[in-house]
Structure 1
Amino acid sequence: MFLAKMAAVVCLLALAGLNRQRLTPALATGPAGSRNLLRSIAGEIGLAVVILGLVATWRFTPPPRALAAAAPVSLHIHTAPAMVELTLSPARAGPVLASMTFMTGDFGPLDPKEVTLVLTNSAAGIEPIERQAKRTGDGTWQVDNLVIPMPGRWRVRVDALITDFQKATLDGDVDIRP
């Protein structure tokens, strides 16, 4: 986008230079010179409109700090019986969508029967926040009613019921931005 804007500006300046050096002195030759100058001026006006239109699109671009605040955070927790790829989006305090994908410890498919997500911030004196995950159509598990009350380092625990008699507990830490 930036290169397109710069190319339009360079073309505009080139047309202005052409007008000044060649077409303005050609006015003395008669009507053919004035026709060429009029075409060149129309081209300049068209390029100026294009440049203003391109610059006007800048207002739709969010500032970089807004993009960083909305970025998700991913956490990979691997144990012998199971592993999980947990994504919190956005990775900031407030309402968060947690998405989890499971595999066996040797990278095979794993389809747990039940999944529970537990977040703890004992340094801030916050009791564990425990939510049941729901299976989505594509095989991932989601927790969509999760609110992280404050930023900081949070302890994450994922409890996955693999069979009626086997449960995998996966622990890790995640940093939540303000």
Structure 2
Amino acid sequence: MTTPRIIKGLALGAAALLSLSAAPLAAATDDDSFFTHLHTAKAMANVTVSPGRAGPVEITIQLETTDEAPLTAKAVSVTLVDTQTGKKLAPVEAARDGDDAWRVKVAQLTPGRWMLGLGISISEADHVSVESPILIK
């Protein structure tokens, strides 16, 4: 026979699980970085903005194929647009930081929602563009 105490415990546990599943998908880390995963039919990118707050930031990009194997690209450019004001920062060419890794430093981001765009040149004839919103605190 089920007691009211057990039912109450189950209900509280279910409520805790539901609140966890409703949490944002961006990963919070010790240094308050912002993480997002971008993908297209040809490429995927794991992008970390560190720190995820106003001021100078570093953006690291790890490229993968859709089979999750490292993707070697010829070049990667980063664009940032403030979604509230429409302010566009000049595109920045990322520096290679390994076969599938790239890095960009941005001098100053203001708090708010930004649209992060990646221009990935896989070969001379094969280019991929992908974008995702990011949040800067």
Equivalent residues of 1:157, 1:169 under 8 A apart:
yes
Q: Specify every segment of 5 or more residues in structure 1 that has no aligned partner in the other structure, as ranges.
A: 1-67
Secondary structure of 2:90's aligned partner: strand
Task: Point out the structure with max Rg over C-alpha.
Answer: 1
Q: Following TM superposition, where does structure 1 have runs of at least 4 consecutive aligned residues deviating by more than 4 angstroms? A: none
Residue of structure 2 equivalent to 1:116: 77
Which runs of structure 2 are paired with 1:15-54 in the superposition (5 Å)?
none
Q: Give the superposed CA RMSD.
A: 2.0
Report the counterpart of residue 53 of structure 2 in structure 1: 92
Match of 2:37 in 1: 76
**8 Å contact 2:64–2:100 — kept in the other structure?**
no
Indicate the structure whose relative CO is greater, using CA pairs within 8 Å and at least 6 residues apart: 2
Aligned to 2:124: 164
Gaps of at least 5 residues in structure 2 are: 1-28
**Deviation of 1:108 (Å):** 2.4
Q: More strand by proportion, 1 or 2?
A: 2
One-letter code aligned to 2:136 = I
Identity over the aligned pairs, expressed in percent?
A: 31
Give secondary structure in 2 for the equivalent of 1:159: strand
CA contact (8 A) 1:69 1:90 kept: no
Q: Which amino acid aligns with 2:111?
A: P
C-alpha separation between the residues in 1 aligned to 2:53 and 2:89? Answer: 18
Number of residue pairs matched by the alignment: 110
Matching residue of 1:107: 68
Q: CA deviation at 1:69?
A: 8.8
